[in-house]
């Protein structure tokens, strides 16, 4: 959607491109916006395949190549943040800027629900938790609140959207594979913090909800400390889906960031230099 500098929006686990519906049209007023459904999510295929961060990053690269897009600002939310960082690591020459929104991969803590989903046997429990009656009850609850003039928070809406997606058997299988690739019962097991110094030449923006109960804002503060020159903006009352809590705030942050920074131009030689520096020479 739209024309201008390219922005790729990468959603989180159980979500899809529709999670960006409140912000994509506004971003498209000044940008060429690409918002895919990751493999195993939304309307994309759900095969027995590679649901690792590297696999997802390669899928983003392939989509950009197919669309004739050489490079872009990549925006990743939650799991999508981990995908975006992996994309930056694997394909630095295709990255102009990096935006991490309540991102995974920056610390151990994560919601107990996601930790539980990584447990052995969860694939047999999830069908019961996300059966049609349970999903119908969640939708009815949201409708009932709306009739009384009460709207569920952006987190509730995001969770219900994810709950609805897991009514499909293939989607549940993809969900379990994805969770286990990045989370175990103790928390997040993929941690990018030891490679954040590689972002030195990349403009980086960190956006976080101050009341995120899934991935705490402390992860964003730590990431800012470890990423030279990065910016951190916190929406004080925002949750895990700050772009739905305050779409105007989110779009304003992205547009200001893109408009005030020059796109990175990195090649493999520069990456090699940074890795040697990080290894002590």
> Are 215 and 183 contacting, i.e. CB atoms less than 8 angstroms apart?
no
- Specify the pLDDT at position 34: 98
For position 253, what pLDDT does the model report?
97
181 as an active site residue: the answer is no
Does the predicted TM-score (pTM) go above 0.85? Answer: no
pLDDT-derived band at 9, boundaries 50, 70, 90: very high
Tell me the pLDDT tens digit for each residue of 181-229: 666 566 565 666 566 666 678 899 999 999 998 889 999 999 999 888 8
For Cα atoms 87, 89, 93, give the angle at the middle one, nearest 5 degrees. Answer: 80
Q: How confident is the model at residue 58 (pLDDT cuts 50, 70, 90)?
A: very high
Q: How many residues does the chain have?
A: 281
Residue 8's DSSP bridge partners are: 34, 74
* Three-state secondary-structure class, residue 130: coil
Rounded CA-CA distance 45/93 in Å is 28
Q: Is 212 a catalytic residue?
A: yes
- Residue 118's CB is within 10 A of a number of other CB atoms, namely 19
Catalytic residue among 155, 212, 245, 246: 212
Q: Select which of 155, 219, 240, 246 is catalytic.
A: 240
Read off the pLDDT band of 40 (50, 70, 90): confident
Asked if 78 is an active-site residue, the reply is: yes
pLDDT in tens, 243-268: 999 999 999 999 999 999 999 887 76
The one catalytic residue among 52, 78, 181, 230: 78
Residue 141 confidence (pLDDT): 47
Residues 92, 273 contacting (CB under 8 angstroms): no
Q: How far apart (Å, rounded) are the C-alpha atoms in residues 159 and 274?
A: 39
List, in order of start, the domains of the chain with CATH numbers: 6-108+190-278 (3.40.50.1820), 112-184 (no CATH)
Q: What percent of the chain has pLDDT over 70?
A: 65
HSE (CB half, 13 Å, CA atoms) of 216?
A: 8
How far, in Å, CA of 34 to CA of 94, rounded? 14
pLDDT tens per residue, range 103-145: 987 766 666 666 555 555 554 445 544 545 544 455 554 554 4
CA distance 263 to 216: 29
Q: What's the confidence (pLDDT) of residue 209? A: 95
For residue 273, what is the enclosing H or E element? Answer: helix 268-278
Of the pLDDT bands very low, low, confident and very high (cuts 50, 70, 90), residue 170 is confident
């Amino acid at each position: 959607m739209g024309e201008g500098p390219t922005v790729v929006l990468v959603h989180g686990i159980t979500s899809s491109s529709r999670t960006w519906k409140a912000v994509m049209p506004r971003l498209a007023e000044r940008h060429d916006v690409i918002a895919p459904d990751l493999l195993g999510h939304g309307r994309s295929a759900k095969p027995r395949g590679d649901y690792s961060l590297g696999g997802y990053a390669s899928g983003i690269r392939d989509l950009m190549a197919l669309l004739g897009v050489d490079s872009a600002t990549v925006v990743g939310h939650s799991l999508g943040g981990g995908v975006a960082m992996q994309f930056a690591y694997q394909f630095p020459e295709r990255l102009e800027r990096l935006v991490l929104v309540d991102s995974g991969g920056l610390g151990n803590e994560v919601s107990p629900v996601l930790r539980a989903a990584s447990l052995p046997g969860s694939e047999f429990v999830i069908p019961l938790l996300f059966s049609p009656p349970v999903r119908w009850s969640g939708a009815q609850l949201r409708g009932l609140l709306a009739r009384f003039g009460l709207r569920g928070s952006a987190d509730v809406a995001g969770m219900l959207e994810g709950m609805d997606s897991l009514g499909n058997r293939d989607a549940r299988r993809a969900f379990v594979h994805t969770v286990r690739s990045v989370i175990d019962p103790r928390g997040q097991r993929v941690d990018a913090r030891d490679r954040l110094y590689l972002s030195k030449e990349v403009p980086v923006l960190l956006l976080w909800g101050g009341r995120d109960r899934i991935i705490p804002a402390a992860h964003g503060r730590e990431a800012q400390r470890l990423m030279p020159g990065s910016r951190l903006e916190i929406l004080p009352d925002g949750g895990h889906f700050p772009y739905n809590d305050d779409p105007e705030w989110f779009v304003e942050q992205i547009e200001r960031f893109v408009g005030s920074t020059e796109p990175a131009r990195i090649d493999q030689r520069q990456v090699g230099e940074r890795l040697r520096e990080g290894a002590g020479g």
